[in-house]
């Protein structure tokens, strides 16, 4: 299988002023690309090179897992945002959030709290688990793919995701992610 970075689903300046072109350039072209380069090097001449990215994530360990999972997580993160995003979901996803969290406001409070409290580097996720919505966090390269969960959205809380624009203000970044960036259309498509 050919492993190359997917193009960003928008221009690098499309999320400004919330996430600047400088942030996306460093995050996508440096961090994400390095994970891909490391993955390709680890797969060279190996039988796993014929597997899909998801198969590699689900069946690997050590450096191969770390790099493949980080490629997958970042691919998912870019799609979890869009220009003029934010607001509240609609339709079946909105109903499920109300059913499983009481209200959108309660969901958002819990999601932001989980993202901010994720110790060190990691991710905050809205997932489907056993037919219900849940909020989970994962450290480092961990991902819902290995836990039998269906990911709907993710917020990257590694410092490189926000430090250029928000410095050490993770809570402000997470709040901005929810208010201005989250892609509820992507989440709804994953929910179907």
pLDDT in tens, 118-138: 999 999 999 999 999 999 999
Q: Is the same domain home to 70 and 126?
A: no
Residues of the chain under the 70 pLDDT cut? none
Q: Is the same domain home to 137 and 183?
A: yes
The total of other beta-carbon atoms located within 10 Å of residue 41's CB is: 10
Q: Is residue 8 part of a domain?
A: no
Instruction: Provide the residue range defining the domain that includes 158.
Output: 91-191
How many folded domains does the chain comprise? 2
Q: Is residue 6 part of a domain?
A: no
Q: What pTM value is reported for the model? A: 0.97
Q: Is the same domain home to 106 and 162?
A: yes
Q: Is residue 106 part of a domain?
A: yes
Q: Is the same domain home to 135 and 184?
A: yes
Instruction: Give me the pLDDT at residue 190, please.
Output: 98
């Amino acid at each position: 299988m050919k492993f190359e970075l997917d193009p960003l689903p928008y221009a690098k300046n499309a999320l400004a002023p919330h996430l600047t072109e400088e942030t996306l350039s460093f995050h996508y072209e440096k961090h994400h690309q390095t994970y891909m380069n490391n993955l390709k090097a680890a797969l060279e001449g190996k039988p796993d090179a014929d597997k899909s990215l998801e198969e590699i994530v689900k069946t690997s360990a050590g450096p191969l897992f770390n790099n493949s999972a980080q490629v997958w997580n970042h691919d998912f993160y870019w799609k979890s945002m869009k220009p003029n995003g934010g607001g509240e979901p609609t339709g079946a996803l909105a109903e499920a959030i109300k059913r499983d969290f009481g209200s959108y406001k309660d969901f958002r409070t819990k999601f932001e709290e989980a993202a901010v409290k994720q110790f060190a580097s990691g991710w905050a996720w809205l997932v489907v688990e056993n037919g219900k919505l849940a909020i989970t966090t994962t450290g480092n390269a961990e991902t819902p793919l290995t836990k039998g969960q269906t990911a709907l959205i993710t917020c990257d809380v590694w410092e490189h995701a926000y430090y250029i624009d928000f410095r050490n203000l993770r809570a402000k970044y997470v709040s901005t992610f929810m208010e201005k960036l989250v892609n509820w259309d992507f989440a709804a498509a994953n929910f179907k």
